[in-house]
Every structure is written in structure tokens, then in C-alpha cells.
Structure 1
């Protein structure tokens, strides 16, 4: 989860912060940001669930 955040989500956040939201490019950057950020957030969620499952199995 930390790796996905550092490699994918943080650079996406930085790119979004660097663009002027009132510019013509702002809408394009937001569209790309939203699509990519949501996808990587789903990856983080799935890996967290998998880690929890492994932890529960290890406790048995």
C-alpha cells in the first residue's frame, strides 16, 4: 500500500497541485488524475484486503 501511494498517488497529487484549475489544461489534468487515482486506490484497497486475509490465516 505504501509503495503504491508513493509511486503512483503522490505524483498524481503533485501534478494536480501544479496545474491552474482555471486553465484549459486543468480539466484535462483533472480527468486523467481522477481516472488514474481511483484505479490505484482500488489497487491499494485490494492489497489491504489481501494483507488482512493473510493475517487472519496466519493467526489460525
Structure 2
């Protein structure tokens, strides 16, 4: 199982290959922080939009992020 930077790259590539590839044009020090911000936004969007959980549970999940 991947860890650290490899895990980050694997997750980002799996979530959005196009965003993952576009990070390559950024200066190296910005790639990971911007990629992590993107993953956080995607996670929050997924939690907020799911119909699988009641509203209260979604709000709890968003607060946990």
C-alpha cells in the first residue's frame, strides 16, 4: 500500500486525472497544498450532496473535515 506522497498522488489521480495532470504546471512547492485543498473540497462536496445520510449526519461530517 502506498503512503505519504505516493498515496496522495494515487488518491488525487483516482479522483480527478485532469486536475492531477494540471498540477504539473504549478511550481513544485504549490502542488501538494493545492492538491490537498482540492481533495478537501471534493470530500466536502461529496458529503454535502449525498442522499445516503440524513442532514444532521452530513453536517457532522462537514464539521469533522
TM norm structure 1: 0.43
Q: Which structure has more helix as a fraction of its residues?
A: 1
**Greater length-normalized contact order (CA 8 Å, ≥ 6 residues apart):** 1
Please give the TM-score of this superposition, normalised by the length of structure 2.
0.40
Structure with greater Cα Rg: 1
